[in-house]
């Protein structure tokens, strides 16, 4: 099933079930044969098509940055070289797998991004690490290591705002490379990522920005909703309607016009509007 085959109304009903805990996003992707990314994109689009539903969703499931991104792998690599640390020990200390550490170090290969404390590129840092592991450090290598300063490993990108800044820096640098005519895959590789990584980070950034905008307007939505509800109630009273908070079956009252029994509080309790 393609994304455009999912009816908007149906999707909103599914999200209502997710909020109510009757369904999970994983079940949506499995039962309706769509990817997790498509599901997330459609949820983000709710901020425009159904802001009230979107607000309730992000209140129930607020965005949480991936914990792995709390680790600055450049600084971790420098720490390994500078302080002669074992990857296994650091993996345990920072709660990350050795495989992930090695993969992130390998991702530096080919990157022209500059490491500030030494002035070398991340590609050069990667090669320095390889020589360190092979115990083939030159005199020049040792001089670089001597001047190397190790910063925070578990850095400040655990907050949403910091995560947003982190992603914006990557995306902006990627766009700058593209403006220079560098192909997509090569531009991503120069930053130590695959093109798929960059694509995912763009989507993640879009979601954060959308959520922040909606959260900033959250109180405004609630305020307007409250005013609207009060106006509707006043209109009902002015029209001579009586509003009861009990179910007709509970208080023994049968609505004169069943069609007017329309104000539902939830699945169990209804407001009976009688003429």
Is residue 234's pLDDT more than 50?
no
Which residue range forms the structural domain that includes residue 146?
65-155
Residue 56 has φ and ψ, to the nearest 5°, of -65, -35
pTM: predicted TM-score of the whole model, two decimal places = 0.39
**Residues 28, 34: contact at Cβ < 8 Å?**
yes
- Regarding whether 145 and 82 lie in a shared domain, the answer is yes
- Regarding whether 145 and 105 lie in a shared domain, the answer is yes
The answer as to whether 120 is a domain residue is yes
User: Given 94, 120, 155, which residue is the final one in a domain?
Assistant: 155
User: Given 132, 155, 178, which residue is the final one in a domain?
Assistant: 155
Q: Tell me the C-alpha distance between 258 and 254, whole Å.
A: 8
Q: What average pLDDT does range 76-99 have in this prediction?
A: 89
Q: Choose the weakest-confidence range: 155-169, 215-229, 260-274.
A: 260-274
What are the tens digits of pLDDT across the range 96-122? Answer: 888 889 999 999 999 888 888 889 999
**Residues 244, 251: contact at Cβ < 8 Å?**
yes
Tell me which of 158 and 173 has the higher pLDDT: 173
- Regarding whether 7 and 88 lie in a shared domain, the answer is no
The predicted structure's pLDDT at residue 140: 95
Q: Choose the weakest-confidence range: 23-37, 98-112, 138-152, 156-170.
A: 156-170
Q: What average pLDDT does range 158-182 have in this prediction?
A: 83
The predicted structure's pLDDT at residue 129: 96
- Regarding whether 146 and 91 lie in a shared domain, the answer is yes
The answer for residues whose C-beta is within 8 angstroms of residue 253's C-beta and 6 or more apart is 244, 272, 274
The answer as to whether 168 is a domain residue is no
User: Given 155, 173, 206, which residue is the final one in a domain?
Assistant: 155
Share of residues in the chain with pLDDT > 90 (%): 28
Confidence of residue 131 (pLDDT cuts 50, 70, 90): very high
């Amino acid at each position: 099933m393609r994304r455009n085959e999912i009816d908007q109304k149906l999707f909103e009903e599914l999200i209502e079930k997710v909020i109510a805990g009757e369904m999970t996003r994983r079940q949506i992707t499995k039962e309706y044969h769509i990817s997790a990314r498509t599901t997330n994109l459609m949820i983000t689009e709710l901020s425009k098509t159904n802001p009230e539903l979107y607000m309730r969703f992000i209140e129930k499931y607020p965005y949480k940055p991936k914990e792995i991104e709390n680790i600055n792998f450049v600084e971790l690599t420098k720490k390994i070289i500078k302080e002669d640390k074992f990857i296994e020990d650091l993996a345990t200390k920072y709660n990350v797998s050795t495989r992930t550490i090695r993969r992130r170090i390998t991702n530096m290969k080919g990157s022209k991004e500059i490491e500030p404390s030494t002035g070398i590129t991340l590609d050069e840092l990667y090669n320095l690490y390889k020589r360190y592991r092979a115990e083939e450090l030159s005199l020049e290598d040792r001089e670089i290591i001597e001047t190397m300063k190790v910063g925070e490993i578990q850095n400040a990108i655990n907050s949403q705002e910091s995560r947003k800044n982190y992603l914006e820096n990557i995306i902006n640098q990627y766009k700058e490379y593209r403006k220079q005519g560098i192909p997509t895959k090569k531009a991503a590789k120069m930053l130590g990522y695959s093109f798929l990584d960059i694509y995912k980070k763009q989507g993640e950034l879009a979601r954060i920005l959308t959520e922040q905008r909606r959260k900033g307007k959250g109180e405004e939505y609630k305020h307007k909703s409250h005013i609207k509800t009060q106006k509707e109630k006043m209109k009902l009273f002015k029209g001579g309607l009586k509003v009861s908070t009990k179910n007709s079956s509970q208080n023994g009252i049968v609505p004169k016009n069943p069609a007017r029994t329309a104000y539902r509080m939830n699945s169990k309790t209804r407001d009976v509007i009688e003429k």
